[in-house]
Structure 1
Amino acid sequence: MADIRSALADHAAPGRHGTPGQAPGVVLREVSGAGLVQVAAWPDTVEAAMARLAGLAGIAAPETTRIATAGTDVTLFRLAPERFWIAGAAADRLREAVAGAFAPEEAVVTDLGHSRTVLRVSGPEVRAFLARSIAIDLDPAAFPLHSVAQTALHHVGVLVHFAAGTPEGDAFDLYIPRSFALSHWHWLTHLAEPFGYEVREALAAASG
């Protein structure tokens, strides 16, 4: 498989912006090496597909579209009753095994690795920052760890995943269509100016 060139290449240089002398309220970085494979089953095969997918990934398949299941290097999302995403560093490793595990009448497997850019947004002000751009209640009581939502960000459909809790603030991954990634990057950095923000080197998917 050809290497995936970042849609943000030459546009996401590390550095601090917005509030000199203060700790950044928001941290922005790309997640690199995040493969993405879609498995779309049929209504009468979805239960068997879930069991097979869980066996291949080594973690339970999600029962709902609201909560993802996550392992060390793989996350499973349920985007619709019969449609799943395998994301993370392990997605590329699992691609061929997943493709070979399903006959066409059981499920359709599609490599989406080139179709999305994943941005990780974190920091002590991350919820206030995201509240300016997405219409989701991100309070931890309403949106706990590994919650997932499909919503609009700057008029474009994205997937939002509460990926991790960190000492400097919770971290959310935004799965953005690649063709909109650069315009969204510029828009998000502009939106982050009042909070003060730091751009960091890309985060390897396996360490996320």
Structure 2
Amino acid sequence: MLERRSALEKDLQQGGHEGAKGERGVKLGEVRGWSLVQASGFPDQAASFEAALASLLGASLPARVGDGVSVQGRTVMRVGPEHFWIVGPEKDDLAERLSQTVSPAVGSILPLSHSRTRIFIEGTAAREVLAKGIPIDFDPNVFKLGQFALTGLHHTPVLVHRSAADRYEICAMRTFAHSIWEWFTDAALPVGYDVMR
């Protein structure tokens, strides 16, 4: 199996930067050691598809687009009416098991791990930095813990997931990783940042 190489390897070698008042209000880094599978059901087979997926995962699926649930070390996100992204550990056999369980007449399974990069930002100033370029209301009463949004950052499609109180994970196409990283480091200059390796 091919080993994944970081699209941000060189970027992560650079140090952080102090903010205007000498502070470092956020931490930036790359999420490592994960897998991503897209599971999609066909509209006329949605009930069968979702039942098979829920049975294999051993839990109820998120009911609404934008919601995510944690299940046995995985995060299941409903990204569309019959579409789910499942984030799990790096050495996960979920894609293979789903392919064996879900009939091609019911839905499709697509591993996406190698095509995506996940960047995290955490800290008390994370919402302030994100609000500079992502058109989401980051108020904690609106964008709640566990929720995510498919949106854009400088004309680049991204998925933003609120994974903890002051932590957000941004999943983007690998080819845009460097540009997105540069945007984050520029946007975080006023509040300061540390780079986590």
Q: TM-score range by the shorter chain?
A: over 0.9
Supply the RMSD in Å over aligned alpha carbons. Answer: 1.7
Please tell me whether the aligned partners of residues 129 and 188 of structure 2 are also in contact (alpha carbons under 8 angstroms).
yes
For structure 1, list consecutive stretches of 5 or more residues without a partner in the other structure. Answer: 202-208
The match for 1:206 is none
The match for 2:28 is 28
Provide the identity percentage: 38
Please tell me whether the aligned partners of residues 129 and 184 of structure 2 are also in contact (alpha carbons under 8 angstroms).
no
* 1:162-201 superposed matches below 5 A: 162-165=162-165, 170-201=166-197
* 1:61-72 superposed matches below 5 A: 61-72=61-72
Give, in angstroms, the shift of residue 55 of structure 1.
2.5
The match for 1:111 is 111
SS of 1:98's partner is helix
Please tell me whether the aligned partners of residues 37 and 91 of structure 1 are also in contact (alpha carbons under 8 angstroms).
no
The match for 1:204 is none
Distance change (3 Å), C-alpha of 1:10 and 1:195: same
CA distance in 1, matches of 2:193, 2:88: 25
CA distance in 2, matches of 1:12, 1:41: 38
Residue 12, structure 1, aligned to residue 12, structure 2:
yes
Normalized against structure 1, the TM-score is what? Answer: 0.88
Normalized against structure 2, the TM-score is what? Answer: 0.93
* 1:1-208 superposed matches below 5 A: 1-13=1-13, 15-19=15-19, 22-89=22-89, 92-165=92-165, 170-201=166-197
CA distance in 2, matches of 1:21, 1:128: 16
CA distance in 1, matches of 2:177, 2:18: 21
Give the counterpart letter for 1:129 in structure 2: V
CA distance in 2, matches of 1:57, 1:66: 19
CA distance in 2, matches of 1:87, 1:94: 10
Where in structure 1 do 4 or more consecutive aligned residues deviate above 3 Å?
A: 20-23
Q: How many residues align?
A: 197
